[in-house]
Structure 1
């Protein structure tokens, strides 16, 4: 009598992770040859957990020094543990500056970058005469007095659908530079100014360049209308210095159709 072979093969699953990290000690999200990345550390931890090679795909490529509260990434696995247990198991294998906030199973055709989304970023500016050491890795220290109301007037021009080519790094490789910014707020609590921006997507260095341009307005080097002029110009302009990476945090990525169960 022939031996029967098992007929139930392990089911392939796609697991979505919501990730928070302190980017201070990393060369950014994406795997790079010149340093340790968030993606590489997290991918090794996943492979150690599931016991098989995985390809980790992120929703947003944050630069060196940029932080996150709500980065999103997916990987495929045959491991059969409950979806919410991946977060707990991975956090036991990760360094303290990378934490999985949530793990859920999604459809196998779900791709974190090719969905309709809104992304929210914060840029923090510490505006006081003397720096604070506990904020040095998470905000941009600016000792000069800033005209916050002028910055708010300039920020109003950013909202809406525009060609943001002049607010993108010259290293940007995408051809379509039109994006929609749903809202942009500048709020001050004590000495900390927080720029919160939400849109359907952002070009390379776009948020940091917007922050740098608004700082020029805040220094009264430019008028608020300068922001509109840069947006409307057909020539390639540099609106201001690119604000340092460590003031930037990816706060949230929201999928408009939600996370559908497989």
Structure 2
């Protein structure tokens, strides 16, 4: 593992880490001048642990307020530490809202972003007449009754490969709006409605814009064919407002060519955030 070096040089190792975070405290994943991001805070903790600056690459950049159950990152370093040391040593310098869950040395060809074949997200909606403070920042709230079956029917058109321009933020930097939705499932557990999505990759605000459109259908403001009409339009102005970030969780990233630790939602008592959604 690592890159070849000349005699006398210190070899570089590539390390993968699994990261969890409560997005309420942070202005998204990606580094910013104000430094109030998960990446800024993680890299500062890593530097404090190893004693040298560290740059990280993540599987998928999450927005302000979005939560991470098993974000995957990689870094290159000449420092030799055991996996347990990477976990405990880094966590010693992190706030309570961010944690390293696991660490593993990986081959040099591993890339947290480009080696991933799919990402899983779950969006949590609390459908209740009165908002509940214990869900603040942890779920999207809709007080009007939602027709979940209508939402399921509306979502079918999103499966497969499509141009998702209508669900893409105007600030999205992706070169192509084409993505493949591999699975989408909508379930209900009392007042909690869960939208599980799996795609090869997601565009900026794509999930939140899809949720916004599905809620329009669930509220009866739009007919079941609304989501398909928006999708075909390939025009963001035809879509619904972007829904709140509060209920969005990155739950899993898949790397079929690399054996990385798996963090199941049930491991941390969040069974409802399941990974691997099935087709509607």
Could you say which TM-score interval applies, normalised by the shorter chain? over 0.9
Aligned residue in 2 for 1:4: none
**Residue 3 of structure 1: aligned partner:** none
* Residues 167 and 236, structure 2, Cα contact 8 Å, conserved in 1: no
SS of residue matched to 1:201: coil
Structure 1 stretch displaced more, 75-84 or 141-150: 75-84
User: What is the total number of aligned residue pairs between the two structures?
Assistant: 254
Q: Which residue in the other structure is 1:129 paired with?
A: 129
Shift of 1:160: 1.0
Q: How many Å separate the matches in 2 of 1:234 and 1:73?
A: 32
Write the deviation string for residues 145-202 of structure 1: whole angstroms up to 9, x where unpaired.
1111100101111111111111111222323111111111111112111111001000
Contact 2:165–2:234 (8 Å) recurs in 1: no
- Runs of 4+ in structure 1 off by over 6 angstroms are none
Aligned pairs (5 A) from 1:145-156: 145-156=145-156
Distance 1:48 1:234, change over 3 A: closer
CA distance in 2, matches of 1:151, 1:235: 21
TM-score relative to the length of structure 2: 0.86
TM superposition score normalised by structure 1: 0.92
Partner of 2:99: 99
CA 1:221 to 1:37, structure 2 compared with 1: closer, same or farther past 3 Å?
A: same
Q: Does 1:85 align with 2:67?
A: no
Matches within 5 A, 1:213-232: 213-232=213-232
1:44-83 residue CA offsets vs partner (Å, 9 max, x unmatched): 1111111112111112111111110011111111121223
Per the alignment, in what secondary structure is the counterpart of residue 33 of structure 1? Answer: coil
Of structures 1 and 2, the larger Rg is shown by 1
1:233 aligns with 2:233: yes
Offset of residue 141 of structure 1: 1.1
* Contact 2:164 2:234 survives alignment (8 Å): no
**Aligned pairs for 1:45-124 within 5 A:** 45-124=45-124
**Structure 1: stretches of 5+ with no match in the other structure:** 1-6
**RMSD (Å) for aligned C-alpha atoms:** 1.6
Contact 2:168 2:236 survives alignment (8 Å): no
